């Protein structure tokens, strides 16, 4: 490539900015490069983390667990350029070391008191991401010119000499040498089930809110005092509850005994919550390990290599889930035996032999655990953890409320008190397992694993275990239940639209729940081919190809755009584009999120660096030899 190359980013949110930083890390003072970033939302924060949203909405990560920077734990080819975590950034702001950061009044008050173990609001996080974007731009060499366009890419078409012409919604066209699609979660056309509920709600005069990013959902038509069925009890449901309670003027206070109480404003609807499990995602763990350091003992590199080298495809449920379940057991009991030896009989080395001699779901293992772990709260059962109400028959609606509330209170005790730090061992074992799966080449999985058990079974379990809400949100949920604003329906609910309202039933529920409104509280399933973003839809249907998985047992599209490990978009004829790259949840790469925990050698930072290296090579950008 001759002359001054030009690169365009479709998107300017966290993933795009982190990729941009990785690209600029490979430049020096001799680099000549033009970069355009196009996004209708603020750069750095993007849509999901933008400042213009309710100040009530929070991250589900502690400030100490959020960073956008590489560090010396990262196994990457590009230079490591460290920077502050969100917690360290707040310390710098409090010390007056960030004169270019101006926080709004609410964010400034929050920043003054937020501890490393606190959970920041999205608005405060938007300031961190904005600062990161501005710092990244400011650190660019003089020969790199960066332009931001508050706009939307509507079309990308081949131009002369291998270039591409990108059209903007606001008019005009930018001709570039390469395009990188860095979009996050986008809206999409309604799936058939949601479309049917929209039609039925119109026919029967009901109110239906389909799956969407909660902060952007129109909730104004949910009536004060009206009954609303909420399907889903994950993070989207938690945000929904916040917006419909505190967001409508309610508040939480503590009584003389320290118990949290909800003071209703009278503008809240009555929320009836149910889901497949019938319980919320597990609370974020806030304890610290005090025993031996965590390590992979079951899903080891040797075990992964054996799976990869074996004849035939890998099946997640048959070949990998038992190893993950064993890893979770080891994580829990290693911390219990080495961090709290006074609560068990015997040593960790002795109990490790017991774990190694039993399958994760062997009834004999439960008996062996009971013999050496006296307190039932110190025991860990993977199946019961996953489906706490499996096989439970509820006596009546009050029984559902009691059991769910007891479950939430117990979960808070297990995951937020230092004496129950084995929950941290389980959490870290899950993270290590997540990273271990990235060592398995995608083509080694059978079709059903790639289509269902990995993106649905494993991803939802991991989110349930590791990506739950801040603990205070669950305490608030209990207070809302005490106040009668929230009621629990139970597990495995099904909802139908009828002339009298939406009706929620379950195989073990004590009776139907009828409401005039229904909210499906989860993000819509990603499907690039039906995205409402025109550039992403075009990428999936014109320039690239959808990921189809097929074998004797399964055949179907996954809604993701095929890319190489370096992020190159793959055409329908299986050839890779030289100048079109893509990264993010809409691609065939393993989903890794955007920002990450410090010192975790995260998959997202490794992906960013790998794609940035390929883009730099295509553009002929100078790659410094020394970091």
How far apart (Å, rounded) are the C-alpha atoms in residues 410 and 551? 43
pLDDT in tens, 371-382: 999 999 999 999
How far apart (Å, rounded) are the C-alpha atoms in residues 400 and 174? 59
Q: What is the pLDDT of residue 451?
A: 84
Q: What is the pLDDT of residue 41?
A: 97
How far apart (Å, rounded) are the C-alpha atoms in residues 54 and 56? 5
Report H helices in 7-104: 14-24, 86-94
Give the Å distances, CA to CA, from 185 to 46, 428, 614.
11, 26, 24
- pLDDT over 90, % of the chain: 88
How far apart (Å, rounded) are the C-alpha atoms in residues 84 and 166? 35
pLDDT in tens, 607-619: 999 999 999 999 9
Q: What is the mean pLDDT of residues 49-63?
A: 96
pLDDT bin (cut points 50, 70, 90) of residue 592 is confident
Give the Å distances, CA to CA, from 213 to 189, 239, 516.
14, 10, 22
Cβ proximity of 465 and 426 under 8 Å: yes
How far apart (Å, rounded) are the C-alpha atoms in residues 220 and 210? 14
Q: Per this entry, what is the length of the chain? A: 627
Please tell me whether residue 361 adopts helix, strand or coil conformation: coil
Is residue 320 over pLDDT 70?
yes
More confident residue, 438 or 407: 407
More confident residue, 308 or 438: 308
How far apart (Å, rounded) are the C-alpha atoms in residues 414 and 361? 22
Lowest mean pLDDT across 24-28, 117-121, 173-177, 455-459: 455-459
What predicted TM-score, i.e. pTM, was given to this entire model? 0.94
- pLDDT over 70, % of the chain: 99
Q: What is the mean pLDDT of residues 38-60?
A: 96
Is residue 295 over pLDDT 70?
yes
Q: What is the pLDDT of residue 554?
A: 75
Helix (H) or strand (E) holding 558, with range, is: strand 555-561
CA angle 134, 138, 139 (to 5 degrees): 120
Q: What is the mean pLDDT of residues 501-522?
A: 91
Using a 10 angstrom Cβ sphere, with 0-12 exposed, 13-18 middle and 19 or more buried, the burial of residue 270 is: middle
Q: Indicate the average pLDDT of the chain.
A: 94
How far apart (Å, rounded) are the C-alpha atoms in residues 518 and 271? 10
Lowest mean pLDDT across 327-336, 410-419, 587-596: 587-596
CA-closest candidate to residue 23, choices 585, 592, 510, 581: 581
Q: What is the mean pLDDT of residues 388-416?
A: 94
Dihedral of the CA atoms 211, 86, 433, 429 (nearest 10)? Answer: -110
Give the residue carrying structure tokens 């006074």.
342
pLDDT bin (cut points 50, 70, 90) of residue 125 is very high
Is residue 126 over pLDDT 90?
yes
Phi, psi of 479 (to 5 degrees): -65, -40
Q: What is the mean pLDDT of residues 61-76?
A: 96
Q: What is the pLDDT of residue 621?
A: 87
How far apart (Å, rounded) are the C-alpha atoms in residues 431 and 451? 22
Is residue 553 over pLDDT 90?
no
Cβ proximity of 520 and 232 under 8 Å: yes
How far apart (Å, rounded) are the C-alpha atoms in residues 380 and 524? 32
Tokens of 192: 């058939």
Q: What is the pLDDT of residue 1?
A: 59
């Amino acid at each position: 490539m001759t002359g001054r190359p030009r690169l365009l980013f479709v998107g300017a949110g966290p993933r795009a900015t982190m990729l941009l930083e990785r690209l600029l890390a490979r430049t020096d003072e001799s680099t000549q490069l033009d970069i355009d970033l196009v996004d209708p939302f603020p750069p750095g924060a993007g849509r999901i983390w933008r400042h213009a949203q309710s100040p009530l909405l929070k991250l589900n990560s502690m400030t100490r667990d959020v960073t956008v920077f590489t560090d010396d734990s990262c196994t990457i080819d590009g230079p490591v350029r460290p920077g502050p975590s969100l917690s360290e950034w707040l310390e710098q702001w409090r010390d007056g070391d960030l004169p270019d950061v101006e926080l709004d009044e609410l964010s400034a008050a929050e920043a003054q008191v937020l501890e490393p173990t606190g959970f920041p609001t999205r608005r405060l996080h938007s300031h961190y991401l904005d600062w990161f974007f501005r710092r990244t731009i400011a650190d660019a060499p003089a020969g790199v010119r960066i332009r931001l366009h508050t706009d939307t890419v509507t079309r990308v078409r081949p131009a002369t000499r291998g270039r591409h012409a990108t059209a903007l919604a606001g008019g005009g066209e930018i001709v570039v040498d390469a395009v990188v699609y860095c979009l996050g979660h986008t809206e999409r056309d309604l799936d058939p089930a949601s479309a049917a509920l929209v039609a039925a709600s119109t026919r029967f005069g009901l109110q239906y809110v389909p799956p969407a990013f909660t902060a952007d959902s129109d909730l104004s038509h949910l009536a004060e005092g009206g009954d609303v069925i909420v399907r889903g009890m994950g993070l989207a449901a938690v945000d929904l509850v916040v917006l419909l309670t505190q967001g409508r003027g309610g508040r939480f206070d503590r009584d003389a005994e320290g118990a949290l109480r909800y003071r209703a404003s009278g503008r809240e609807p009555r929320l009836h919550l149910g889901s497949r499990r019938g319980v919320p995602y597990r609370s974020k763990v806030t304890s610290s390990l005090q025993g031996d350091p965590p390590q992979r003992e079951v899903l080891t590199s040797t075990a992964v290599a054996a799976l990869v080298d074996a004849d035939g495809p890998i099946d997640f449920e048959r070949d990998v889930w038992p190893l993950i379940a064993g890893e979770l057991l080891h994580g829990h009991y290693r911390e219990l035996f080495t961090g709290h030896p006074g609560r068990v009989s015997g040593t960790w080395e002795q109990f490790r032999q017991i774990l190694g001699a039993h399958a994760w779901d062997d009834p004999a293992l439960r008996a062996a655990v009971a013999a050496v772990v006296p307190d039932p709260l110190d025991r860990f059962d993977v199946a019961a953890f996953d489906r706490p109400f499996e096989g439970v028959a509820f006596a009546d609606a009050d029984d559902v409320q009691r059991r769910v509330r007891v479950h939430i209170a117990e979960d808070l005790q297990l995951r937020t008190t230092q004496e129950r730090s084995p929950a941290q061992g389980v959490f870290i074992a899950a993270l290590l397992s997540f990273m271990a799966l990235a060592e398995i080449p995608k083509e080694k999985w059978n079709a059903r694993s790639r289509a269902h058990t990995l993106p649905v079974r494993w991803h939802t379990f991991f989110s349930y275990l590791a990506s739950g809400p801040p603990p205070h949100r669950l305490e608030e949920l209990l207070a809302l239940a005490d106040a009668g604003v929230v009621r629990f329906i139970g597990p495995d609910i099904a909802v139908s639209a009828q002339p009298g309202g939406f009706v929620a039933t379950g195989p073990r529920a004590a009776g139907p729940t009828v409401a005039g409104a229904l909210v499906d509280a989860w993000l819509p399933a990603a499907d690039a081919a039906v995205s409402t973003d025109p550039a992403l839809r075009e990428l999936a249907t014109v320039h690239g190809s959808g990921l189809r998985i097929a074998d004797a047992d399964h055949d179907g599209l996954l809604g993701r755009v095929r890319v190489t490990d370096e992020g190159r978009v793959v055409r329908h004829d299986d050839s890779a584009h030289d100048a079109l790259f893509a990264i993010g949840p809409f691609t065939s790469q393993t989903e890794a999120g955007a920002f990450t925990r410090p010192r975790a050698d995260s998959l997202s930072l490794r992906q960013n660096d790998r794609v940035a290296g390929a883009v730099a090579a295509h553009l002929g950008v100078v790659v410094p030899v020394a970091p």
